[in-house]
Structure 1
Amino acid sequence: MFSHFLLLFVAWITWKAMQILRARARLAKVPGPASASLFTGNLSQLLDRQGWGFHFQIAEQYGSIVKLNWLFGSSALYVYDPLALQHILKDTATFDEMPWYLESNRLFLGPGVLGVNGRTHRRQRKMLLPVFSAKHLRGLVPVFYCVTHKLIEAISFRLQQGPADIDMLNWMSRTALELIGQTVIGHSFDPLTEDVADDYAEAVKSFTSTATCAEMMLLRQATPLARYLGPPWFRRCLVEWMPIPVIREMLHIVDTLHMGSSKILQEKKVAAVRHEVDGGKDIISILLRANNAAPEEDKLLDDELLAQMTSIIFAAMDTTSNILSRVLHLLAQHPNVQDEVRREVMIAKAHSDQLDYDELHALPFLDAVCREALRLYPSAPQTFRGTMKDGVLPLSQPIRATDGTLMTEIVVPRGTNIIVAIMASNRNKALWGEDAHEFKPERWLKPLPEALEKAGIPGVYSNLMTFLGGGRSCIGFTFSQLEMKVVLSELLANFAFELSTEKPVVWNFAGISYPSTNSESTKGELWLQVRRI
């Protein structure tokens, strides 16, 4: 048994080595930075929590497609050329999620939309897309306001003695979690009136930071090998035996999420008949009803339904809370912008204290502020793809090869890692202009640059890559926008935000970027001085 495994391992190493050498030869002419490490290449720079400068530098210095050095001498492509992105996101037979990403997501979240591909992925998206339609979201607006009003009361209580420094990331995280709980699964995680010790809620809040930390991202790349290590019970024993703190923490989080989600799903299924009568409006109730009515070949199995719950919670939690925190930080840095958007909100609320779905989306400057924050600071600055077979990436603009020739397309060998450079695309000076790195909400109140409109950025939202595009675009981007606008409009109608004089803000580059008080800290926090209007 051991000798067979050893032979298999040697064969896999040999095959990988040949694949690496072949890929390096094919991509030798693509310009890029020198390797920083024999074993990890440029990966540590790419994932460095303070690696913003590295990303800006390679985008500016090498252009819209850059060769990076990857693990053990392999190569990767850092891409933000619009035409190349179109092919990467639309040709999923050639360019798809990395095997390690899918495999690790299946281990963490189950066989949901974030952990499957091919026909299974298309079938799951087909069931999920209608659930996030504007029609259903309109019915959730009162729930958004109910939760947000509790947030206003909680912050007001802390300002009884006057202006105070408040950790707004903490409150945005708690609010996002409660909004997800009530609108997605019909479950209250946090009443926002007091600190509540809830293992399930803590697991939800801890999942993203643990799953996307640099150490775990490196470990996740070995997960495709797990299937060769015996049956699931044996693999579980191996994981429990590993003396690596981040793995032990991840195991606890995954177990807690699974138990909590299983309990809630069973309650939902028991209540399904009653919901047919009274019409539960949360997303999972709607999904269960749609699933019951779907043709047999389209129905989601129980483990898929469970995985959708956990996947949606994960995808919507830190992404929205962190971009809300980013907007508040930007408004504190630009008080004139804060005053202008507040003025717009207050004029609208003079006619209707609780703005409905259409009234919120009819506020042009609030919309511009949200778009500009999403452009400059996407919660996930990059994502990854793998080349499933040899492919070709055409370029919208030629690049200068290392031998001085011009390249109009790049032959990409099978097995090449691809970084979809979301932030670099959103800040492309060739399309957005020389002020592409500046926070200017007013750019959205006039026609966008002609070069941008003609570029064909494949994102699903406003010429941006923030919510991706193609078959793996973010299903909940309309949900996210609605959440941002409800929370921001209510916060700005009640409070003013200024930079803290005591606690600085440092933003960390990560799977989902987050703020802390210094570059050494991994604890997410954003302290702003808050006063009542």
Structure 2
Amino acid sequence: MELSKIADNLSIEQAQRILENFPYSPWQVVAATTGSYLVYKLAGFVKWWLIDPQFSPLRDAPGPDTYDSIIWGNMPKIFKAPPSKVHEEWMNKYGHTITYRGMFLGYRLCTKDPKALAHMVNHSYDYPKPAQIRYFLERMFGKGGVLFAEGEDHRRQRKIMNPCFGPAQIRDLMPIFLDKAFQLRDIWIRQVEESGQEDKEIDVMVWLTRATLDVIGLAGFDYEFNTLTEGEKNELVLAFMELFAPAQGPPFLALLSNFIPFLRMLPTKRARASAHSKEVMARIGKQLVQDKRAAVVAATSGSGGVEKKTVVGRDLLSVLIKANMARDVKDSERMSDEEVMGQIMTMLIAGHETTATSLTWLLYDLSQPEHKHIQNRLREELLTLKSDRPTMEELNSLPYLDAVVRENLRINSVVDSTIRCAGKDDYIPVSTPYTDKNGVERTEIRIAAGEQIFIPVALANRDKAIWGEDADVFNPDRWLEGNNSHPRSAEIPGVFSTIMTFLGGPRACIGYRFALMEMKALIFALIRDMAYELPDPAPKIERKSQ
């Protein structure tokens, strides 16, 4: 007899008698059910942790045979070293393609082979960010930003955002870049003059961060931070700094919480500070979006609405909101308010700190005694421009400036690496065969769905097999020789200049043109009228990442 018919024929009195005679209490039933579920989850976790790696297709790839911890794998050694240093040592020993153990002993692939990199970045929707990285991005930016989005959501957001970062829009932002560049130059000149000496020691990282923060405030969403004149006093700036304050030591608890969700609920000091910062940023961001939308509606009232072809504006948020409101955009393609808010957070972090750090490294390199001739040569070329406020085209016409920027982005890539995972079982081709642990020569890498990949941006940019024996030397002249001195660089799948700094493929940095022109404007103002050298004694500078 069917169960439904039994239930229909069962009287309330009969059901009550069955329950009264049931040998277990409700609490025992709950405990047994909960216990069974926990045992099931624990068994799955142990299988994933200790058994699945034994069957990974990556287990025979070259790489270290030992690891430091049954929980952390090889990660403690990586955390203690400068960025990518351990990976570089392993690749020098084992070759261009290696594997090592990540968290909970999962195999992690690392390759700098150009063909393999091209396969992954050009099929980026098959190689998304791992769930753990997406959780981190969600904590920082919310679920709406283009950094968080994957698949169709990412494709849709990029389609709406592309007009914000085209050449025409960047050209309109040049006055902002130059205004802040000259403001910073004048501050430094005034500090030298007030010192009463011919030179003055300046912490350029602090000031460049303030300048680029002011730039992204105005260029990004027409918001004046005024950090160059007032310092870090703005409420949004303080919230931002609190959210991205450097961690003291390796963030082991944060890493564990990526794998063990209940740890995310612990009320740590860091969690409380992050929650407060996100509340402030969300409140101000929401007001910015509302104000911009109201301004767009007011400006287009009586004109029949907004269309994509009429999308113009100075700040990126205005352009984004106009593009999102355009009547020739399908409702299914529009961004939600949460997604628009996510772009504000993304522009804030990606639009200033990376540029400031990159320019800091450039000034550091140009200040080296052996690079004094590069600084002088660059200054001589900048002085050939007759205008004090050059256009985008005029700055782009300077070959040595362009070579210096390219070389700085190559050798000082701020984003040292990125993490992806295989969205499906796949075979990754390589341009140079490698030999696995069994002595078999391989022309492709077999990877299973879910396994992680460490993409070594900095190591690809400084690979001697690509760039020659002087790959670790700051040498702008290599870019004036075309590809003659580094023909294999054409194999690198970068969106800009055959380097991996801005990545490539569908997930390449959407704001790379913005970053390039902001850098060139700052270099023009800061190098043309001032000279730089290291203090005596020179400080010890180390590369570190968070």
Q: TM-score range by the shorter chain?
A: 0.7 to 0.9
**What is the deviation of 1:186?**
0.5
2:158 corresponds to: 125
Kindly indicate whether residue 212 of structure 2 is the aligned counterpart of residue 184 of structure 1. no
How far did residue 306 of structure 1 move? Answer: 0.6
Unaligned ranges ≥5, structure 1: 230-234, 512-533
Q: Match of 1:156, SS? A: helix
The whole-number CA distance in structure 2 between the counterparts of 1:134 and 1:461 is: 14
**Does 1:402 pair with 2:437?**
yes
Per-residue deviation, 1:433:
0.9
2:63 aligned to which of 18, 24, 32: 32
State the partner residue of 2:188. 155
Structure 1 Cα separation of the partners of residues 300 and 336 of structure 2: 20
The answer to whether 1:282 aligns with 2:282 is: no
Query: Are residues 116 and 150 of structure 1, via their aligned partners in 2, closer, same or farther at CA, if it must alter by over 3 Å?
Result: same
> Could you report, residue by residue, the CA deviation over 1:296-351 in whole angstroms, capped at 9, with x for unpaired residues?
12111111111111112111221111001011101101211111101100111xx2
Q: Give 2:459's aligned residue.
A: 424
Q: 1:142-291 maps to which residues of 2 (within 5 A)?
A: 142-160=175-193, 161-162=196-197, 163-208=199-244, 210=246, 215-216=250-251, 219-220=254-255, 222-223=257-258, 226=261, 239=265, 241-243=266-268, 245-276=269-300, 280-291=313-324
1:473 and 1:209 map into 2 onto residues whose CA distance is: 26
For residues 192 and 185 of structure 2, the distance between their equivalents in structure 1, rounded to whole angstroms, comes to 11
CA RMSD, aligned part only?
2.4
1:167–1:201 CA distance, 2 compared to 1 (3 A): same
- What is the CA–CA distance in structure 1 between the aligned matches of 2:281 and 2:61, rounded to whole Å? 43
DSSP 3-state at the match of 1:462: coil
1:478 alignment counterpart: 513
Corresponding position of 1:442: 477
Does residue 344 of structure 1 match 2:381?
yes
Residue matched to 1:530: none
Amino acid at match of 1:185: F
Check conservation: 2:478, 2:485, Cα contact below 8 A.
no
Q: Does residue 83 in structure 1 map to residue 115 in structure 2?
A: yes
- Structure 1 339/322 Cα, relative in aligned 2: closer, same or farther at 3 Å? same
Tell me if structure 1 keeps the 8 A contact 2:483–2:489: no
Q: Which moved more, 1:498-507 or 1:462-471?
A: 498-507
Counterpart of 1:99, as a letter, is: A
Give, in whole Å, the separation in 2 of the partners of 1:214 and 1:255.
26
Q: Deviation digits for residues 347-398 of structure 1, max 9, x if unmatched?
A: 11xx211111000111111111111111111001100001122111111101
2:452 is matched by which residue type in structure 1?
Answer: N
Task: Choose from 355, 377, 391 the match for 2:426.
Answer: 391
Give the whole-Å Cα distance in 1 for the aligned partners of 2:162 and 2:256.
29
1:248 deviates by: 3.5
Partner of 2:352, secondary structure, is helix
Bigger shift: residues 192-201 or 75-84: 192-201
* Rg (Cα) greater in structure: 2
Q: Which moved more, 1:294-303 or 1:15-24?
A: 15-24
Per-residue CA deviations over 1:411-443 (Å, capped at 9, x if unaligned) read 112221100010111111111111111111100
Q: Quickly say closer, same or farther: Cα 1:3–1:262, change in 2 above 3 A.
A: farther
TM-score by length of 2: 0.85
Q: CA deviation at 1:468?
A: 0.5
2:146 maps to which of 85, 90, 113: 113
Higher RCO structure (Cα 8 Å, ≥6 apart): 1
1:309 aligns with 2:338: no
In the TM superposition, what is the alpha-carbon distance from 1:505 to its structure 2 partner?
A: 3.8
1:348-359 alignment to 2 at 5 Å? 348=385, 351-359=386-394
Aligned to 2:17: none
CA positional deviation for 1:274: 4.0
Does the CA contact (< 8 Å) of 1:323 and 1:374 recur in 2? yes
Give the counterpart letter for 2:59 in structure 1.
A
Per the alignment, residue 318 of structure 1 pairs with 353
Normalising by structure 1, we get a TM-score of 0.87
Residue 155 of structure 1 deviates from its aligned partner by 1.4
Cα distance, 1:8–1:490 mapped onto 2, change above 3 Å: farther
What is the one-letter code of the residue matched to 2:107? S
Alignment counterpart, residue 463 of structure 1, candidates 492, 498, 506: 498
Q: Give the aligned partner of residue 514 of structure 1.
A: none
* Gapped regions of structure 2 (runs ≥ 5): 1-29, 302-310
- Superposition deviation, residue 158 in structure 1: 1.1
Which shows bigger deviation, 131-140 or 252-261? 252-261
For residue 140 of structure 1, give the secondary structure of its aligned residue in structure 2. Answer: helix
Which shows bigger deviation, 368-377 or 99-108?
Answer: 99-108
How far, CA to CA, are the matches of 1:412 and 1:196 in structure 2? 47
Q: 1:51 to 1:271 in 2, by over 3 A?
A: closer
Q: Which stretch has the larger CA shift, 64-73 or 480-489? A: 64-73
Measure how far apart 1:450 and its partner are: 7.2
Counterpart amino acid of 1:300? M
Q: Which residue of 2 aligns with 1:43?
A: 75
Gap change, CA 1:19 and 1:202, over 3 Å in 2: farther
Contact 1:49 1:510 in 2 (8 A): no
Structure 1 window deviating more from structure 2 (102-111 vs 180-189): it is 102-111
- 8 A Cα contact 2:489 2:499, kept in partner: no
Distance in 1 between the 2:299 and 2:538 partners?
A: 48
Instruction: Show CA shifts across 1:17-38 (max 9, x none).
Output: 36632454x2222111332333
The one-character-per-residue Cα deviations of 1:275-314 (angstroms, maximum 9, x if unpaired) are: 5499641000011111110221211111111111111211
Three-state SS of the structure 2 residue aligned to 1:504 is coil
Letter matched to residue 140 of structure 1: L
Change (3 A) 1:170 1:119: same
